[in-house]
Structure 1
Amino acid sequence: MGGVPKQSLVFQGQSLLERAVAAAAGARHVAVVGEMASLPIWPPNLLSCREQPHFAGPAAAIAAGLDALADIGEDAPYLLVLACDMPLASQAVAALQEALQMSTAADPANVMAAEGNRPQPLVGFYRTPELTKACRDLAARGALVNGSVRSLLANLDVQLVTVPAGSTSDVDTWDDAAALGIAAGNQSERQDRQTGGANVGGNS
């Protein structure tokens, strides 16, 4: 994106980070892994943290979010993992919540968004103990830093849930931004040089 932080891009009057936090509105606590200057108002349940080292990739960001939530005693059974570059992700989150409600207590599910044959692991509800163990296992192998989400989730039993078309469309290039109606230069002036990470929310 030419050095422009994706989370500060503006879609329909909100920064992408604002939209991601809003999509996780049902969470008891939300951990934002990355800079938060594009949030004009910080909800009282919001935590700020960073992966170590900075820019160590999405698996390390998820681990940082889990640690931040654990530090305040958050013990929700599920964690919503949500990247901040999907402006329509609230639709996908709603579909995943519905799928969770249909799962049984005897067979709890990890659920991940999918459009057609394209899974999107950065929109998913994962059982907190399983995801925490996966992070620790990856760290023990020295593979957490710069590790992929695919490797992090490799040993989890994950159910794919079909979500509304376009709800996991992400912004990786200016062409992606243009396709979603985000014009070049239409970014938040509140965040000129910041860089982003994953948005992680603990959900009850």
Structure 2
Amino acid sequence: MSRPAPPERPAGARYDAVVLAGGRARRLGGADKPGARVGGRPLIGWVAEAVADAARLVVVGPPRPELPHAVVVREDPPGAGPVPALRAGLAEVTAPWTVLLAADLPFLRPAHVAALRDAAGRTGAVLVDQDGREQWLSGCWPTGALRAALDGYAGASLRGLLGPLGPAAVSLAAGERPPWYDCDTPDALLRAERLSRDPGR
């Protein structure tokens, strides 16, 4: 029996945000990547500000004193990867739409999230970079479709989980501070700090 299609997303539809913030940050020497500061605030603080209008902010990772309003959960075991982390976060979602984000996006802004939500249609939307590559930790999804996909998924890849949902690809003009810029390495973190100090670039 086929599943009913999710409804078309109406303008202003309620959404929850799930931020994955529990990785091991091996390329940063195991440092607390979401807590690393760029432009005077933790990386996760920039991401939380980008989804300030979410009905609920769900952080999958350690407690964040800088986000006292967030619902904090952990995947089991901690550090198990993005799919178990999404599963744990989604258990706390109550809205019909879910914005899924990484915790290390210093240049993500509310307008970028709004563009993803506007493009979501029935199947969701995912940000693509300048080369057309999907950024699976920058997307908006029907919550019911995510739950159904997770129910039947035994893999470890977000691409394998989310790709079959057929999301719209969202390409945004970005310049040197693209919304998909992440801080996986010390060099990327240093460059983000330099760019944050030079708003004219």
Residue number in structure 2 paired with 1:78 = 97
Residue number in structure 2 paired with 1:115 = 129
**Does the 8 Å contact 1:134/1:152 carry over to 2?**
yes
Q: 1:99 aligns with which of 119, 139, 161?
A: 119
Moved over 6 A (4+): none
**Does the 8 Å contact 1:115/1:164 carry over to 2?**
no
**Does the 8 Å contact 1:79/1:126 carry over to 2?**
yes
Q: 1:42 aligns with which of 68, 77, 84?
A: 68
Distance 2:107 2:32 in 1: 18
For residue 99 of structure 1, report the CA deviation from its aligned partner. 2.6
Distance 1:40 1:94 in 2: 24
Correspondence 1:1-204 to 2 at 5 A: 1-37=28-64, 39-43=65-69, 46-69=70-93, 74=94, 76-90=95-109, 91-100=111-120, 103=121, 108-116=122-130, 117-138=132-153, 141=154, 143=155, 147-165=156-174, 166-181=178-193
**Does the 8 Å contact 2:44/2:105 carry over to 1?**
no
Distance 1:151 1:109 in 2: 15
For residue 164 of structure 1, report the CA deviation from its aligned partner. 3.4
Q: What is the TM-score when the length of structure 2 is the normalising length?
A: 0.75
SS of 2:47's equivalent?
Answer: helix
Alignment gaps of 5+ in structure 2: 1-27, 195-201
Q: What is the TM-score when the length of structure 1 is the normalising length?
A: 0.74
SS of 2:106's equivalent?
Answer: coil
**Does the 8 Å contact 2:125/2:170 carry over to 1?**
yes
Distance 1:87 1:122 in 2: 14
For residue 56 of structure 1, report the CA deviation from its aligned partner. 0.8
Distance 1:59 1:92 in 2: 23
RMSD: 1.8
SS of 2:135's equivalent?
Answer: strand
Distance 2:112 2:35 in 1: 21
Alignment gaps of 5+ in structure 1: 183-204
Q: Which has the higher contact order (CA 8 A, sep 6+)?
A: 1
Distance 1:29 1:160 in 2: 25
Distance 2:74 2:56 in 1: 16
CA 1:57–1:41 in 2, change beyond 3 Å: closer, same or farther? closer
